């Protein structure tokens, strides 16, 4: 019996237009009524996820920053794994050298060095404020994560992931979209967040359904007993899934819930 659903947001329950379909909202409300815990597990900032949780009527803790931060509804921090300052400083130097756009997150606030089209597109529709300043003017500590972005060249982003993973094996570096290279603590993984809450609630792995669409959701899926990939998921994520549902635009989340939970299907 599924007691917990750990779900990604963008590309999984939230459409590319940054809207939730009425079917998704109704489904989540019905799951909550049935006592199933719905947990948002995202690479987003915590502050940018709170409005999402409110819109969906959720009161469960939020797992943000790829699993690097968990806060409950009151804002109390339950779990936090920051990017070590020494690594953050080295990656900032790398970004300067190679002219890479970098988002810097400190204490759940976003800092960028240029107010360019990249940051404007990134923040559009995501409830995010940001500060433009030289990173040299900041005290580099309490770093939630770094995000390297190239909105035009996905291959370049893949190369960044490979390069930085080799250079910094003690960090967790992954693509969260074809154009985003996420850099965080080794312990800032979606799987860590799911396991922490499952242990807190006494929920077994086989009682957890996990669902997502990107490579950073491989960790998320592997934390669940029932692994679901969206129809719009990457090939890598689909390869670890037990079940592949429809796309986010076609309410794949709802269809997966109807098939695997409400219809009582336990195995796929």
Q: Of the given ranges (24-28, 154-158, 263-267), which has the lowest mean pLDDT? A: 263-267
- On whether the CB atoms of residues 114 and 104 are closer than 8 A, the answer is no
Q: Give the end of a domain, one of 185, 219, 251.
A: 185
* End residue of a domain, out of 185, 215, 230: 185
Percentage of residues of the chain with pLDDT beyond 70: 98
Domain match, 93 and 163 both: yes
- If asked whether residues 166 and 254 sit together in one domain, one would say no
- 164, 99: one domain: yes
In angstroms, how far is CA 187 from the centroid of its own chain? 14
Domain assignment of residue 198, given as a range: 4-80+188-262
Tokens representing 215 are 């490579």
Specify the pLDDT at position 266. Answer: 41
Report the CATH number at residue 148: 3.30.1240.10
CATH number at residue 75: 3.40.50.1000
Residue 45 lies in a domain: yes
Tell me if 107 is assigned to some domain: yes
Length of the chain: 268
Is residue 29 a part of any domain in this protein? yes
Query: What mean pLDDT is reported for the chain?
Result: 95
pLDDT over 50 (residue 240): yes
Number of domains in the chain: 2
Asked if residue 66 has pLDDT above 60, the reply is: yes
**Distance between CA 73 and CA 76 in Å, rounded?**
7
Give Cα 136 distance to the centre of its chain: 28
Same domain membership, residue 231 and residue 179: no
How many whole angstroms separate alpha carbon 114 and alpha carbon 190? 29
Residue 143 lies in a domain: yes
Q: Which of 8-17, 52-61, 117-126, 208-217 has the lowest mean pLDDT?
A: 117-126
Model's pTM, two decimal places?
Answer: 0.94
Residues 49 and 110 in one domain: no
Over the stretch 203-233, which tens digit does the pLDDT of each residue have?
999 999 999 999 999 999 999 999 999 999 9
Per residue in 27-56, pLDDT (tens digit) is 999 999 999 999 999 999 999 999 999 999
Whether residue 170 is contained in a domain is answered as yes
pLDDT at 127 over 90: no
User: Mean pLDDT across the stretch 127-133?
Assistant: 92
Q: What is the DSSP letter of 13?
A: T
**268 within a domain of the structure (yes/no):** no
Are 150 and 212 in the same domain?
no
Which residues, listed in sequence order, are joined to residue 83 by a DSSP beta bridge?
143
Residue 126 pLDDT = 74
Looking at the structure, do residues 75 and 109 belong to the same domain, yes or no? no
Paired tokens of 148: 């390297």
Q: How confident is the model at residue 263 (pLDDT cuts 50, 70, 90)?
A: low
Task: Find the mean pLDDT for residues 9-25.
Answer: 95
My answer on whether 94 and 52 are in the same domain is no
267 domain-assigned: no
Distance CA 212, CA 232 (A): 9
Contact 8/213 with Cβ under 8 angstroms?
A: yes
- Of the three residues 185, 214, 231, the one that is the final residue of a domain is 185
């Amino acid at each position: 019996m599924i007691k917990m659903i750990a779900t990604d947001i963008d590309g999984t329950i939230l459409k590319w237009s940054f809207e939730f379909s009425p079917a998704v909202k109704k489904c989540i409300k019905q799951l909550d009524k049935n006592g199933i815990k719905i947990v948002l597990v995202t690479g987003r900032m915590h502050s940018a996820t709170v409005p999402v949780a409110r819109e969906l009527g959720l009161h469960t803790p939020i797992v943000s920053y790829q699993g690097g931060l968990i806060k409950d509804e009151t804002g109390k921090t339950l779990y936090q794994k920051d990017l070590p300052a020494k690594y953050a400083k080295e990656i900032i130097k790398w970004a300067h050298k190679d002219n890479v756009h970098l988002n810097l997150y400190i204490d759940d606030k976003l800092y960028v060095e240029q107010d360019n089209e990249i940051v404007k597109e990134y923040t559009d529709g995501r409830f995010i404020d940001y500060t433009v300043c030289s990173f040299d003017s900041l005290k580099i500590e309490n770093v939630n994560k770094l995000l390297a972005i190239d909105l035009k060249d996905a291959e370049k982003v893949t190369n960044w992931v490979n390069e930085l993973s080799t250079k910094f094996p003690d960090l967790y570096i992954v693509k969260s979209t074809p154009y985003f290279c996420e850099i965080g603590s080794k312990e800032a993984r979606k799987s860590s967040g799911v396991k922490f809450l499952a242990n807190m609630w006494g929920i077994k792995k086989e009682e957890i359904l996990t669902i997502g669409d990107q490579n950073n959701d491989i960790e998320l899926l592997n934390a669940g007993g029932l692994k679901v990939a969206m129809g719009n998921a990457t090939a890598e994520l689909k390869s670890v899934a037990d079940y592949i549902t429809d796309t986010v635009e076609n309410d794949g989340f709802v269809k997966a819930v109807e098939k695997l939970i409400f219809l009582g299907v336990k195995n796929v």
